């Protein structure tokens, strides 16, 4: 479906705002314009839910979670950053997108989950012809990025 994705982002984040714990602060850096992409809305919602839930779950001290949208030449880059979390060692940054991989087994077991969230997110993003990756500073926090191809507004109308 070809949609302006900006209202979808706000809709998803409004739900997180309503349910958030007092010690977490959310920030949105989202352009105030229409941005058209081809997406399966439910699937992209699932990707954002997964990444946002991780940001909350793995930042036990709270801090700020920033949702940023940057328009690049041919793609939209979405990033979700947490602060004050445990972070992830550089050599493990690619592994978190593998099925059942969890950085700290004991800690992750306590926090619950299956280790599938990011593997599913990667499948969805790749199916949308996007990319997904992460950067992190141990002891400081993590940023997960994904991209979606932008639709050329003049030629985008005739595709299914």
Binding residues for Mg ion, rule: CB under 5 A, are 54, 117
Nearer to Mg ion, 96 or 150 (CB): 96
Partner touching 81 among ligand ATP, Mg ion, none, CB below 5 to 8 Å by kind: none
Report the DSSP beta bridge partners of residue 64.
25
Contact, 141 vs 87, CB < 8 A?
Answer: yes
Task: Please state, in angstroms and rounded to a whole number, the distance separating the CA atoms of residues 96 and 64.
Answer: 22
- Return the closest-CA partner of residue 5 out of 46, 43, 34: 34
84 binds, among Mg ion, ligand ATP, none (CB under 5 to 8 A by kind): none
Binding site for ligand ATP (CB under 6 A): 50, 54-55, 58, 82, 85-86, 88, 96, 101-104, 108, 113-119, 142
Least distance in angstroms from the C-beta of 50 to ligand ATP: 6
d(CA 122, CA 146): 9
């Amino acid at each position: 479906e070809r949609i302006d994705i900006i209202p979808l982002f706000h809709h998803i984040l409004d739900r997180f705002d309503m349910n958030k714990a007092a010690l977490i602060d959310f920030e949105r850096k989202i352009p105030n314009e229409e941005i058209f992409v081809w997406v399966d809305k439910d699937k992209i919602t699932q990707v954002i839910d997964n990444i946002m839930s991780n940001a909350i779950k793995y930042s036990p001290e709270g801090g700020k979670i920033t949702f940023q949208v940057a328009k690049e030449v041919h793609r939209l880059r979405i990033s979700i950053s947490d602060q004050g979390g445990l972070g992830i060692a550089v050599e493990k940054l690619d592994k978190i997108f593998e099925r059942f991989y969890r950085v700290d087994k004991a800690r992750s077991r306590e926090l619950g989950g299956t280790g599938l969230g990011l593997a599913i997110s990667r499948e969805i993003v790749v199916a949308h012809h996007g990319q997904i990756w992460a950067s992190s500073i141990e002891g400081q926090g993590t940023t997960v990025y994904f991209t979606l191809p932008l639709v050329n507004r003049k030629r985008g109308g005739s595709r299914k």
